[in-house]
Amino acid sequence: MTIKNGDPLPAATFKHATPEGMSELSTDTLFKSGKSVLFAVPGAFTPTCSNQHLPGFVANMDALRAKGVERVVCMAVNDPFVMKAWGERDGSDDIIMISDWDASFTKALGLDQDASPAGLGVRSRRFAMVIEDGIVTKLSVEEERGLNVSAAEAILEDL
């Protein structure tokens, strides 16, 4: 079953590579209090993700903060070192880059996809959600290829 507006986030622990080494971040740490935006991409360094999705959130951080967003989190089913390198390359110091390394959180959300035909294995569907105090208040899932409803600009309109 796919998560929907009004649902609490399922509990999960993510891997997070930092300059000090590997750490773990839980859904409680990231999303239990305040307003957050979580966006997920099928893969770090992939064309739409690198050329549009992540850069859109980087460019709109001030506007998101002005709407009360306390943190923006980018997630992919990639290893944490890849997420760290991608974040460093694309200048997203203000975005928390997390790894759902085994796709367990993505599967718990019901937002996984089999990208094996493209050589990628199990990945996340492209989506963005607004989370307030651990509850999903707006879920935007891309139904087709491309970037429309989960873009930073679309999320700003929803806030």
Q: What is the per-residue pLDDT across 88-146, written as a single tens digit (0 to 9) for each?
A: 888 778 999 999 989 999 999 999 887 766 666 677 888 999 999 999 999 999 998 88
Domain 13-158 has CATH 3.60.110.10: no
Is 49 marked active-site? yes
Angstrom distance (rounded) from CA 63 to CA 57: 10
Strands laid side by side in the 35-41 sheet: 21-26, 13-18, 95-99, 71-76, 35-41, 127-132, 135-141
What is residue 68's predicted lDDT score, i.e. its pLDDT? 97
pLDDT in tens, 59-97: 999 999 999 999 999 999 988 999 999 898 887 789 999
Selecting among 49, 77, 129, 155, the annotated active-site residue is: 49
Global pTM value: 0.92
